[in-house]
């Protein structure tokens, strides 16, 4: 039986919605599996007013200050020209130890990570909240919008940054290995360490 999205179904042993009740909130392939096959006399579809529980995403990195280095190029996630301005682009650059290459990882109450530049105190953000492949990363004043929140997960010994709002991964434009290419969001990724 298919349960309509956002609803639940109450099944009753007796007619007129009386007697023993069983409530289902998800699809059931076989009533016999849950002991309802021969015991249903009435059923009622009800709007589910309880929001589903929100699971915090699994994060594989402790809060702290990190240097984000591309596995592909061995270069750092870098705020262009050590800018402290809203909207400054984020690139990859030879690691040089500057504060514009240090990122403080913090977590929201919902369990998503934010990356704050140690130099500017601005957040890594997908520009304009876009969900398109190839759109760039910039630094912006932290507003806690979804385009400033990420999931950081370890995959085969390296970390992957995935945007909360677009479900796309942070990557270096065109997989470049030189200084200066923009950091973008894409469906397929080169990993960071």
Q: Are 181 and 77 in contact (CB under 8 A)?
A: no
Per residue in 90-101, pLDDT (tens digit) is 999 999 999 999
Beta-carbon contacts of 167 under 8 Å, excluding residues fewer than 6 positions away, are none
Chain Cα centroid distance, residue 59: 10
What is the sign of the dihedral through the CA atoms of 141, 146, 147 and 152? positive
Give the separation between CA 172 and CA 148, rounded to whole angstroms: 18
**3-state DSSP assignment of residue 34:** helix
Kindly tell me if the per-residue pLDDT of 63 is higher than 90.
Answer: yes
Map out the domains of the chain with their CATH numbers. Answer: 7-47 (no CATH), 64-186 (2.80.10.50)
In degrees, to the nearest 5, what angle opens at C-alpha 33 toward C-alphas 31 and 35?
A: 70
pTM of the model as a whole? 0.71
Per residue in 161-188, pLDDT (tens digit) is 999 999 999 999 999 999 999 999 999 6
Kindly tell me if the per-residue pLDDT of 118 is higher than 60.
Answer: yes
Kindly tell me if the per-residue pLDDT of 46 is higher than 90.
Answer: no
Is residue 54 packed enough to be buried (19+ CB in 10 Å), middle (13-18) or exposed (0-12)? exposed
What is the sign of the dihedral through the CA atoms of 174, 71, 161 and 102? negative
- Residue 100, sorted as left (phi over 0), alpha (psi -120 to 50) or beta, turns out to be alpha
The residue whose two tokens read 């998800």 is 26
Average pLDDT of the chain is 86
Pairing of strands 158-163, 18-24: unpaired
């Amino acid at each position: 039986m298919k349960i309509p999205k956002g609803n639940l179904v109450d099944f009753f042993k007796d007619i007129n919605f009386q007697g023993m009740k069983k409530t289902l909130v998800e699809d059931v392939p076989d009533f016999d599996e849950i002991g309802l096959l021969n015991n249903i006399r009435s059923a009622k579809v009800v709007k589910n007013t309880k929001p589903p529980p929100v699971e915090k995403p699994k994060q594989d990195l402790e809060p702290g200050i990190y240097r984000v280095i591309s596995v592909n190029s061995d270069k750092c996630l870098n705020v262009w020209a050590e800018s402290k301005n809203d909207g400054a682009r984020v690139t990859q650059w030879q690691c040089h130890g500057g504060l514009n290459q240090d990122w403080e990882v913090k977590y929201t109450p919902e369990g998503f990570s934010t990356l704050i530049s140690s130099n500017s105190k601005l957040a890594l953000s997908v520009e304009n909240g876009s969900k398109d492949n190839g759109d760039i990363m910039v630094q912006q004043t932290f507003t806690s919008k979804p385009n400033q929140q990420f999931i950081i997960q370890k995959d085969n010994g390296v970390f992957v940054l995935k945007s909360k709002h677009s479900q796309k991964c942070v990557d270096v434009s065109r997989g470049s290995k030189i200084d200066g290419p923009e950091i973008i969001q894409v469906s397929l990724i080169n990993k960071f360490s």
